[in-house]
Structure formats: C-alpha cells, structure tokens
Amino acid sequence: MNRDETKLILQSYRPGGRDAGDPQFAAALALVKTDPELAGWFAEQQKFDACVSSGLQQARVPAQLKKEILALQKKTVSPMASPVSIWWRNLFSQQSPIPWALAAVILIIVTLTVFWKKSEVPTRFANYSAQMVSAAVNDPHHVDTAASDLQQASAWFAAHRGENNLVLPTAFTSGKGLMGCRVLDWHGQKVSMLCYQLKDSGHVDIFIAEADIFPDAPPDQPQFASSDGMPTASWTHDGKVYLAVSHGDAAILKNLLSPATSAQLEQKLYCFKGLF
C-alpha cells in the first residue's frame, strides 16, 4: 500500500477515533504511524473533518420542518398533475423552510472549504522545518539510495525529480562524507535530501526545496534555530531554500556555516548545473 492508496482509504475515516477498531482501516493506520509525512496529512484531514462535522451540527433545523414535510405527504395531488412536480414545487415554495435549511448547510460547507484552503496555502516554513526534522530523526528509511559523491547524488536526483543546480557551502562541496540521498514529498512539492557523515562534525542532513512555496522563506544569511530539540540552519540561495539539520550540538552547524567559511564560498562553490 502506497501513500496515495492510504490517503484514499483514510478520507472516509471518521473523526474522533470511531473507526479505530474497523479492520478495513488497520493497514492504513499502521502506515501512518511509521510515515511522518503521512501522519501530518492525516492529522490535518481529521481536523478538517471535525470542523465540517461541528459546522453541520450547529446548523439549526427549523422548528416547523417536520410538520411541513408531513403536510406535503397529506396534500391531495391533482390527477392532471405530476406528483413529482407538485412535491418539488411545494418543497421550494417561499413558505417552506427546507430551502433555507439547505442553503445554511451549503453555506457552512463552502465557508469551511474556503477557510481550509486558506489555512493550507501558503505553507509556513516552520511547519516544513518541523516535518523535515521529523523525517531526519524518526523515519527508519533515512535515505532512498547510497551515494558517496555529489555526481552520483545529482544523477539520482535527475531520475527522481529531485532538485538540480544546487549550490552548497564549502564544507559540503567536495562530497566527502556524503552517505546517501533521498527525495521526499511536501504538500505536493519535491524535496531533496543529502545525508552527510562529516569527520569530527557528526551527522548532518541537508534538505533543499523551491523557495517560492514558502511566503516566509529564510533570508540569504544562515538562520540558526532549533526544532524538536535538533539544531537547524536555514537560508535561501538562487531561488532555493536550504535546511541543514545537525544530529549533534548547535556548534557543529555554526562552525560549518561560519562567516570564515562563507567568505570562501564564492571561490569554492560546487554547482550541479553542468550535470544536466
């Protein structure tokens, strides 16, 4: 079962855990527990379903609705007229409360849908950073393929819709310490990852995505932060956002991205442009 199949199954999963014991959801729920990206999608899906359910529950049913429906059944239908046409005509008459109830339900659904779309777009960089850190730390499939140099990694990215034209800081441009790479999905966008085991610098993962998917993309200079206890550094260069996650202390990233190192960047950048 892949992610798309899992999402299709879980779209019918009711909020509140009412279907937790249903066998038809067991495999999909098990996959959610091992896939951080899928877990994030499922949490948002459940939140949306809960909002729709709450909105529908708040819709007031007119007090006379039941009486009006029963009255429609008792009315005598003319032999020259179609029962169906009279039923629909009475249903949407100005005196009937049914159109107003239907309009209220439709308005709630439309409002919630618009609100939901606005909450999804634009995507905030902090959410992206948290999910990438989770993938770096918790995902048992840390890399998709082994790669010992940047040329191997770039060729694999080209075959799997990964990023190209990458510009890496000097500490990473030689490819030394490169262990593997991976391509992840983020809200329908592809994110490339390089995994490094640097000498005396521990384990560092670098995630690369297009900058235009974030309204709050970081500036050109590295911004140091922490997400879920993991030191991070993020910056934007040439239309791409770079996120470095250290599996050690914060000093590792600060040393790798220090001003002295940045001063050498213009002379020692390794670009992938000629590889495609």
Cβ proximity of 89 and 77 under 8 Å: no
CA dist., res. 170 & res. 167, Å (int): 9
What would the two tokens of residue 121 be?
Answer: 């777009």
Q: Render the burial of 76-85: b for 16+ CB within 10 Å, e for the rest.
A: eeeeeeeeee
Question: Is residue 87 very low, low, confident or very high in pLDDT (cuts 50, 70, 90)?
Answer: low
**Choice among 59-63, 70-74, 227-231 with the minimum mean pLDDT:** 59-63
| pLDDT average, residue stretch 12-36 | 80
Bigger pLDDT: 75 vs 145: 145
Per-residue pLDDT at 224 exceeds 90: yes
Beta bridge partners of 197: 203
Torsion of Cα atoms, 151 then 176 then 174 then 259, to 10°: 140
Cβ proximity of 214 and 207 under 8 Å: no
CA dist., res. 157 & res. 143, Å (int): 12
CA dist., res. 229 & res. 209, Å (int): 22
- Predicted confidence at residue 234, as pLDDT, reads 94
Per-residue model confidence as pLDDT tens digits over 31-69? 888 888 888 888 888 888 777 777 667 666 677 777 777
| pLDDT average, residue stretch 84-96 | 55
Per-residue model confidence as pLDDT tens digits over 96-151? 565 666 666 776 776 666 555 544 444 689 889 999 999 998 888 889 999 888 88
CA dist., res. 252 & res. 32, Å (int): 32
- Predicted confidence at residue 52, as pLDDT, reads 75
pTM for the complete prediction?
0.55
CA dist., res. 150 & res. 178, Å (int): 8
Cβ proximity of 211 and 239 under 8 Å: yes
Domains along the chain? 3-58 (no CATH), 65-117 (no CATH), 139-275 (3.40.1000)
Per-residue pLDDT at 17 exceeds 80: no
